[in-house]
Amino acid sequence: MTEQRGPDRGSTGDPEGGGPGEPAHGRAAGRGADRGRVVPEATVARLAVYLRVVTVLGGQGAATVSSDELAAAAGVNPAKLRKDLSFLGSYGTRGVGYDVHLLVEEISRVLGVTRHRNVVLVGVGNLGRALAGYGGFASQGFTIAALFDADSARVGEKINGLAVQDMSVLAASCRTAKVTIGMIATPAEAGQQVCDQLIAAGVTCILNFAPIVLSVPDGVDVRKVDLAGELQILSFHERRKSAGLEEVG
């Protein structure tokens, strides 16, 4: 997954703090420690992974988790995890670990998922239908509030309880549902036009599944999901393994 972002987001750098071992209780700024600090995009992506892991742990009844355990479950090294969590303040106890419930609460706050957010989806072809029917969005704080398609043959069709709407009512629907996040699952040739329509409707964050690089103004963030590109990367690694070549670090 790749990202586009407007220059108004500011520069990013390495997070502060994070020595060896579990953080000492109360050492850092505590609640709200991320405010006033720019969180690197790579850290944001990893925080989402940590949230998924600690949510599962909490559901299994775990009260605490060590940085080594959490790092292993998230697929990162402990030092990197501690640096990432330094943006939350210090919520660990040396020799004990992190409070699972508190980590869920604080990571959710930093990621802005402490409340549900409405999302619109444009494009209900095969991929769009799969996205519309995916139940995991709701459990992570996102509700697909409306579906849209430019194909009149699909307008009115119901998918997962939602009727597909015509693009002519996109702006009104976004305003009514207070939508600021949109997903694009259209063919490449329609991607930029849909992007422009979403922005005109007040959408400032876009998850793009269309195989096209979108042009967006300052203040609009785009995350691109290139499924075919990811398969090509895996193909590259498989070719190297088949040829007996060393992996590129």
DSSP string across 131-149 = HHT-THHHHTTEEEEEEEE
pTM recorded for the entire structure: 0.74
**56-65, Cβ contacts within 8 angstroms, sequence gap of 24 or more:** 57/100, 58/100, 58/101, 58/104, 62/100, 63/99, 63/100, 63/101, 64/93, 64/96, 64/97, 64/98, 64/99, 64/100, 65/97, 65/98, 65/100, 65/103
pLDDT in tens, the chain (249 residues): 666 665 433 333 333 333 333 333 333 333 344 455 788 989 999 999 999 999 999 999 999 999 999 999 999 999 999 999 988 876 667 777 899 999 999 999 999 888 889 999 999 999 999 999 998 898 888 999 999 999 999 999 999 999 999 999 999 999 999 999 999 999 999 999 999 999 999 999 999 999 999 999 999 999 999 999 999 999 999 998 888 876 655
Domains defined along the chain, listed by start:
2-111 (1.10.10.10), 117-230 (3.40.50.720)
- Rounded to an integer, what distance in angstroms lies between the CA atom of residue 3 and that of residue 45? 11
User: According to the model, what pLDDT value does residue 34 have?
Assistant: 46
Give the residue from 14, 29, 25, 33 showing the smallest Cα distance to 79. 14
Q: Give the pLDDT score at 90.
A: 62
Residue 95, by phi and psi: left (phi above 0), alpha (psi -120 to 50) or beta?
left
- What does the pLDDT read at residue 115? 82
Give the Cα separation of 87 and 23 in Å (integer): 13
Give the per-residue pLDDT at 248. 57
Give pLDDT, residue 6.
52
**pLDDT at res. 24:** 33
For residue 247, what pLDDT is reported? 61
Q: Give the model's pLDDT for residue 245.
A: 74
Quote the pLDDT of residue 3: 63
Angstrom distance (rounded) from CA 39 to CA 177: 29
Residue given tokens 């000492």 in the structure block: 24
Instruction: Look up residue 103 and give its two tokens.
Output: 């980590």
Separation CA 12–CA 45 (nearest Å): 14
